[in-house]
Amino acid sequence: SEATAMPSVPKIRIPVHVFAFSVASLPGIAYAYYYQKNAKTDEEFEQILRENYGAKIQASRNNKADITRVVRGMKDPESDHGEMNKKFEEVLYAGKASAKRHYAVDQSLYGTEEGERKRREFEEERKRKEEERKKARRNKKKEKKEAAVVAAGGGDANGVNVAQKDGKTGVPAKDA
């Protein structure tokens, strides 16, 4: 009986985590194999890009040429006789002819009577505007308070309860 029995073949034992990772990686391996076999060549890919994006590619090349010319003009200002610098200054100043510093001191007026007069006028105007803002804030706050009193208690604009004012108690009472 021992002579007729086949020799025992050792069982292959694979740990569970190795089997799980192997099964999980099979779709990625299959896709990589498929992509490798069916991938487009560089020439085919370039042809597709030219068909679909030809205008954009040409516009990009033109813009690159323009920028290259600007940078070359910045490196060598005499090459364009200052025209490139003029365009570059326009770009820097957002299309304005020159930059204006709004808070710069005018040296021609500094220390003169005219300069002192303009400073006083400016200060008076600033104070007047500040007072107008404060007055508007007070009026808005007052109107808001009056509207809240009228809506909540049915009182008049001064906050006096109309029912009590008509003589039931004889003394006007303010709503809280």
Structure tokens at 13: 């034992």
List, for residues 48-79, the tens digit of each pLDDT value. Answer: 988 888 889 889 999 999 888 877 777 776 66
Which among 97, 75, 76 is positioned nearest to 86, based on CA atoms?
97
So where are the chain's domains? 14-99
pLDDT single digits (tens) 138-174: 999 999 999 888 888 766 555 555 555 545 555 555 5
Question: What's the pLDDT score for residue 143?
Answer: 93
pLDDT computed for residue 176 by the predictor: 46
CA distance 83 to 81: 6
| Distance, CA of 120 to CA of 152 (rounded, Å) | 48
Longest alpha-carbon distance in the chain = 131
